[in-house]
Amino acid sequence: MSHPVPRLRAEALAPCPISGHRKRFDGTATGGRAISTQADIAAAHLRLEQVSCRIGPRAVLEGLELDLRFRALGVVGRNGSGKSTLARLLAGLMAPDAGQLRLCGVDVAADRAAALSTVGILFQNPDHQIIFPTVLEEVAFGLRQQGLRRRDADDAARAVLAAFGKAAWEEAPVSTLSQGQKSLVCLMSIVAMRPRVLILDEPFAGLDIPTKAQLMRYLGRYHGSVIHVSHAPEDLADCETVLWLEQGRIRDVGASGTVLPAYLAEMTRQGEGDDISDLPG
């Protein structure tokens, strides 16, 4: 990771302002579009109306009600609180059993074409995401999925690699990369698709401290809104708003400065108990 990092050509990475009306990549990433900055990006709009979700007999999420505009939203909660299910709902990978969900006005589960330019998700295990044997093919895959021709997709993928200072990775076999490097490939692959919202479902859990710090810095090159799901409050320090889930319900939502300390105090209190003994059912 010691490559000199060229200045980011932000227009290659910034999401399109209007979902469903993406402009084509011109490949060189130097087209006539103005360079967007964080301030230019409209805040993402999340609207949940009585959203419930069941997995088998268990109600994982119940009656979530939310109307929120954000650039960086944190979602905290204990294991099994419904965080990952919420992440999947927000990414449109599953539909709620009841209620309505709109992200930037898009029903992401029903309208998959619009969802691709609205939301991207980074999973915990990069091995589940990576399909292709070399980096360029992997980064270009999502772009081909969005309808770009092979050559255009390759050019656009190269532009993204260059913007991340990883032009030299183009032909690198994915199997030779470290876990942290694979996570970066996943991040670049999603960012290449320029979604307005990026969901992070604890993607850096299990990585060492320097790797995590470096990946968080690369994450800063994505200029859209972020939803960061984690059980660890320190991961969410950069989020202005935090949503606290407990047993499938919203326990609290508000400024991170108030929600996170309350969450930490409650987690410390629960840690003194012994609910690990409780069996489900």
Q: Give the footprint of another protein on this chain (CB under 8 A).
A: 20-22, 24, 88, 91, 93, 112-113, 116, 120-121, 123, 125, 127-134, 137, 140-142, 144-148, 150, 171, 173, 175, 189-190, 193
3-state SS, 50-119, equals EEEEEECCEEEEEEEEEEEEECEEEEECCCCCCHHHHHHHHCCCCCCCEEEEEECCECCCCCHHHHHHHE
Rank residues 140 and 259 by Cβ distance to another protein and give the closer one: 140
Compute CA distances 39 → 46, 125, 185, 199, 211, whole Å.
Answer: 19, 32, 26, 20, 28
- Number of CB atoms found within 10 A of residue 208's CB: 10
Compute CA distances 93 → 85, 90, 235, 250, whole Å.
Answer: 9, 8, 24, 21
User: At 41, which amino acid appears?
Assistant: I
Closest distance of CB 237 from another protein, Å? 26
What is the C-alpha separation between 203 and 33, in angstroms, rounded? 31
Rank residues 3 and 150 by Cβ distance to another protein and give the closer one: 150
